[in-house]
Structure 1
């Protein structure tokens, strides 16, 4: 079961990214921000930053998750990945309300990302040493 967690975490990450994209679209309509503009009402700008920050974080997170899983640490990586998703969700919700409240979610997500990074390095390192 634990070895399947990276797949679940990947699906949850995609849903989180879709949710942030929806929030940007909703804010565009609500505040009358016409594409391709990326600034205007502060609530729209927060939604846009949440989406971009989430995409940027996912680009670094997902490859590490799957490297750790590939090298036999999928259970641990999946657990850390669930924490990452929880942290990024907290970050997004807090940032959408008030930018200054995003720190807790960011910190939790960053710690989980570091854990997945360490797992990927350990897994790849063991594989290289065994070769």
Structure 2
């Protein structure tokens, strides 16, 4: 007999669908849009690749995009781990918050370095939420596997 909160294989398939939508949505919409913004900034300031320095407006845009790219692996690992081991619904909802936070961060950073902070703090809150829920889910799974005794 397995614990009540364990899911069947068909229920687990739903995890892959919801997490796939969030991952694909962030990759296709968010990441491509931010890369396009860097391209527009390059054209506006007449900066050809591979140069990454120029006017402060361009450098902020370029750096904001790079910061989003650097955070992306942390987001994906946290999202999928939370979705697989804790709750796919909470992971998907927090993933949407993360995507909005990255947009807020990017738009703020392109205007001024101080305006990036609300988006940055919201990003950290989303990542922390995903990470804590993932750890709780993994811990619960380990306890069920090694310490669960049916009555």
TM-score by length of structure 2 reads 0.79
Which of 64, 80, 88 is the equivalent residue of 2:78?
Answer: 64
Q: Tell me which moved more, 76-85 or 121-130.
A: 121-130
**Residue equivalent to 1:47:** 61
- Name the structure with the higher helix share: 1
**Residue equivalent to 1:117:** 131
**CA deviation after TM superposition for structure 1 residue 35, in Å:** 1.3
Which of 10, 14, 19 is the equivalent residue of 1:6?
Answer: 19
Q: Distance in 2 between matches of 1:108 and 1:12?
A: 19
Structure of larger gyration radius: 2
Q: Distance in 1 between matches of 2:103 and 2:16?
A: 23
User: Aligned pair 1:108/2:108, yes or no?
Assistant: no
1:45-100 deviations in whole A, cap 9, x for unaligned? 11111111101111101111011111241111111111111111111111112222
Could you list the runs of 5+ residues in structure 1 that have no partner in the other structure? Answer: none
TM-score by length of structure 1 reads 0.90
Q: Distance in 1 between matches of 2:18 and 2:116?
A: 26
Greater RCO, CA 8 A, separation 6+? 1
RMSD: 1.8
Query: Do the aligned residues in 1 keep the contact of 2:82 with 2:91 (CA within 8 Å)?
Result: yes
